[in-house]
Amino acid sequence: MSANQGVKERTLVLIKPDAIQRSLIGSITKRFESKGLKLVGMKMMSLDEAVLREHYAHIADKPFFAGLSKFMQSTPVVAMCWEGLEVVDAVRRITGITKAREAEAGSIRGDFAMSVSCNVIHASDSVDNAEVEVKRFFKADEIHSYDKSEYMHVYADDEL
């Protein structure tokens, strides 16, 4: 096995204010841990309008943006960086579609949410965006490298 089990791919997850208010931090984090992903960064932080405009640039001109921005500033969020093989895609699948009441049962949004806006988490939607988003929310020294002993049971030898 290579040092740090070879950095595979990293993605950003934000636990949103509805999940903070509903005491779902543990339940949500547990889903990613149980999947076999490696947590390499985690912190609570308050977001401001500037970072939200940047993070949600693709929807900043939509009528719902003002409400979304207010919602995202209503409590701190928990930012997490997860690492794993093809982790961006895997986390999007676990997350479920945006409109939570139609999200697949078993996904986080499918199991924990009913709203289009209050859909408990954000997850990066592509490898390129994940790289930008991890850097947006974490300084380099807030991302940690370590070997996880359970990896030998999570992946086959030829995947490590």
Binding-site ranges for ligand UDP (CB under 6 A): 56, 59, 64, 68, 98, 116-117, 119, 122, 125
State the binding partner of 42 from Mg ion, ligand UDP, none, CB within 5 to 8 A by kind. none
By a kind-dependent CB cut-off of 5 to 8 A, residue 146 interacts, out of Mg ion, ligand UDP, none, with none
Q: What is the rounded distance in angstroms from the CA atom of residue 17 to the CA atom of residue 136?
A: 19
Annotated catalytic, 122? yes
Q: Annotated catalytic residue: which of 55, 58, 122, 144?
A: 122
5 vs 119, which CB is nearer to ligand UDP? 119
In the complex, least distance from residue 122 CB atom to Mg ion, rounded to whole angstroms: 7
| Positions in the binding site for Mg ion (CB under 5 A) | 125
Residues catalogued as catalytic: 122
